[in-house]
Amino acid sequence: MFWSRLRAQPPLLRFMWATLLVAVVAALIERRWVLVFEAVATILMSMMPVFFARRFGIRLPLRFVAGIGLFLYATIFLGEAYDFYDRYWWWDVLMHGGAAMGFGLMGFLFIFMLFEGDRYAAPAWAMAMIAFCFSVTLGALWEIFEYAMDVNFGMNMQKSGLVDTMWDLIVDVIGASFGAAAGFFYLKGRDLGGLTGVIAEFVEINRRFFRRFGRR
């Protein structure tokens, strides 16, 4: 059962797991314990959506699972273990923007599930605004976490301090806007593919959570 579920995951995700396992073995041989921890943490965290979804009876689109795995691979393994955050100034921007879009989508889907798929339970702009606020709030909480780590444990997660924090929040707002906009256009019946396509696929394969979908 365990292995069958893993084999059913997207090829991209399985390829990332394979490279991470190779990295774990190499790091064990070289006794690079931090790298071992980061690689193992990436593997376990990227597997969590699969088992979380099964636990609650939710089916996740394969590209959604692949996107989460790719993000974790990029932010934890490449970003932290291989210093991509320091090597490439735009890496942090890319990660924050991607996370904000993802949280915007998740926020919208959560709201839509609460309404059981009723497109007319609230104005489209209101549901999109809630999704936007959900995403930006998570981004702000992350910045508070970074500040707490720097102050209490002498870390340097904020890099350049206020400037880094403000740019992160600006990128979070932009990313959240894209995620919320996808929900808005979906409610308006405009299938633009991409993010709206992910929403449509999620709703289609989880119809039991959207019993009022399509009703007037």
- What is the mean pLDDT, run by run of 10 residues, along the chain of 216 residues? 64 87 91 86 86 83 87 87 85 90 92 89 92 93 85 73 86 94 91 84 91 71
Each as own residue / partner, the long-range contacts of residues 152-161 (CB below 8 Å, 24 or more positions apart, any chain) are 159/85, 159/92
- Burial grade of 77 (CB within 10 A; 0-12, 13-18, 19 or more): buried
SS3 43: helix
Q: Output DSSP code: residue 9.
A: S
Same domain membership, residue 128 and residue 50: no
Same domain membership, residue 193 and residue 125: yes
CA dist., res. 135 & res. 104, Å (int): 5
CA dist., res. 100 & res. 80, Å (int): 19
Same domain membership, residue 213 and residue 176: yes
Tally of structural domains, the chain: 2
Same domain membership, residue 200 and residue 103: yes
Residue 7: the pLDDT is: 67
Same domain membership, residue 191 and residue 94: yes
Residue 3: the pLDDT is: 58
Same domain membership, residue 102 and residue 31: no
Residue 153: the pLDDT is: 72
Domain enclosing residue 102, as ranges? 89-216
* Domain final residue, candidates 64, 85, 106: 85
Same domain membership, residue 147 and residue 44: no
Same domain membership, residue 203 and residue 116: yes
Amino acid at residue number 2 = F
User: What predicted TM-score, i.e. pTM, was given to this entire model?
Assistant: 0.82
Same domain membership, residue 11 and residue 94: no
Residue 89: the pLDDT is: 85
Same domain membership, residue 49 and residue 6: yes
- The CA–CA distances, whole Å, from 187 to 2, 108, 110, 119, 127 equal 36, 10, 14, 6, 9
Residue 174: the pLDDT is: 95
Same domain membership, residue 94 and residue 69: no
CA dist., res. 74 & res. 82, Å (int): 10
* Domain final residue, candidates 85, 110, 137: 85
Residue 53: the pLDDT is: 80
- Burial grade of 83 (CB within 10 A; 0-12, 13-18, 19 or more): exposed
* Domain final residue, candidates 44, 65, 85: 85
Residue 193: the pLDDT is: 73
Same domain membership, residue 6 and residue 51: yes
